[in-house]
Structure 1
Amino acid sequence: MSMSARQDDATAATERVLAHHLAAFADGVPAILSDYAEHAVVITPDGVHRGPVEISGFFEAFLRGVSPAFWEAFRIDRQIVEGEVAYLVWSAPPFVAMATDTLVVRDGRIVIQSFTSLSA
């Protein structure tokens, strides 16, 4: 398999994981966690969340903190997927002026994610 074909396969796999990850927010934390490798890390301005227990706590707190109006306002402003890396720029005005997520996907699971947001 050529390097280009491997890159295309990795991009397609990352796109599938990203699509599931975005849809999983409607189904709750267990669905969200199903996208993460056992050894995954989520890096935020507040620190590093390692493994399923800490990542679960991060998403539970996030979901508790948003109202239904947040989801109505949520939009993806830019999405780039290149190989194993997915990059999102999103917003949910007036709650979040801008946020970014970068995900690294290997073997069908998120292994690293970074997240930051700016309040409106």
Structure 2
Amino acid sequence: MEVIVAKDVDGILEDFTEDSVLFTLDGKVEGLTASRGFFEPYVAGLTDELLASFQMDRQEVHGDLAYIVWNAGTDTIIVQN
């Protein structure tokens, strides 16, 4: 989460590959180029006020699957090395 707070898109993408898939409200985001296209406007829209109010409500990790719930929504993330 530190890279998101820092608005560091390159840092965020260090955990992604061409095989990575994000599931969003607007559909799937696949691969590095599309992931960058998703995260660049996302982090640009993060205001200091929003970041200050961010709360992680729940974080569960099982193997390469992560499930997180935060105050603005729900994300399910799979990270594979």
Aligned length: 80
Q: Which amino acid aligns with 1:89?
A: V
Could you tell me which residue of structure 1 aligns to residue 18 of structure 2?
38
2:40 is the counterpart of 1:60: yes
Q: Which amino acid aligns with 2:78?
A: V
Taking structure 1 as the reference length, the TM-score comes to 0.62
Contact 2:18–2:30 (CA under 8 A) maintained in structure 1: no
Residue segments in structure 2 that go unaligned for 5+ positions in a row: none
2:74 is the counterpart of 1:100: yes
Runs (4 or more) in structure 1 with deviation over 6 Å come to none
Could you tell me which residue of structure 2 aligns to residue 24 of structure 1?
3
Between Structure 1 and Structure 2, whose CA radius of gyration is higher?
A: 1
Task: Give the CA deviation at 1:38.
Answer: 2.2
Q: Which amino acid aligns with 1:45?
A: L
Q: Which amino acid aligns with 1:100?
A: T
Separation (CA, whole Å) in 1 of partners of 2:55 and 2:38: 21
Separation (CA, whole Å) in 2 of partners of 1:66 and 1:27: 8
Identity of aligned residues (%): 38
Task: Give the CA deviation at 1:27.
Answer: 5.0
Residue segments in structure 1 that go unaligned for 5+ positions in a row: 1-21, 108-120
What are the superposed Cα offsets for residues 63-108 of structure 1, whole Å, 9 maximum, x if unpaired?
A: 12221111100010011111221110001xxxx3xx111111222x
Separation (CA, whole Å) in 1 of partners of 2:38 and 2:28: 10
Contact 2:59–2:67 (CA under 8 A) maintained in structure 1: yes
Separation (CA, whole Å) in 1 of partners of 2:63 and 2:79: 9
Superposed counterparts of 1:82-101, under 5 Å: 82-91=62-71, 96=72, 99-101=73-75
2:53 is the counterpart of 1:79: no
Contact 2:15–2:79 (CA under 8 A) maintained in structure 1: no
Greater relative CO (CA pairs within 8 A, separation 6+): 1
